[in-house]
Amino acid sequence: MITRSAPDKDGLVTITFTLPAEVSGPISVVGEFNDWDPYAHPMTIGTDGRHTTTVQVPQGQSYAFRYLREGGAWSDDPEADAYDHRGGIVHVPVAAAH
């Protein structure tokens, strides 16, 4: 699951990446937002067993990302907005002014 917050006062959106409890082993979210650094956004396991992590990114852009799993296995999120040769793409549109 991928959720996006409303932009904060600086125009940053928090994206929360969540994987189900059935997924095992250490997992990181790796993508353009962290220069594909496998150590920047490790997922933590919550009390419900789900793996989650958050990243903050500027609104109005799209970011390629993948999950890096134990043993160097890569996987894509089935809920990504789009896909290309880099993996899943998450779109962060500019929020409408109120």
For residue range 6-46, what is the model confidence (pLDDT) as tens digits?
A: 999 998 999 999 999 888 889 999 999 999 999 999 999 99
Residue 24's Cβ-side half-sphere holds a number of Cα atoms within 13 Å equal to 1
Give pLDDT, residue 24: 83
The secondary element (H helix, E strand) that includes residue 51 is: strand 51-58
Burial 9-23 (b: 16+ CB within 10 A, else e): eeeebebebbbeeeb
- Does the residue 25 lie in any domain? yes
- Does the residue 98 lie in any domain? no
For residue range 42-59, what is the model confidence (pLDDT) as tens digits?
A: 999 999 999 999 999 999
Domain count across the chain: 1
Provide the domain limits for residue 41. 2-92
Please, which residues have CB within 8 angstroms of residue 33's CB and are 6 or more apart in sequence? 55, 57, 63, 65
CATH of the domain at 66: 2.60.40.10
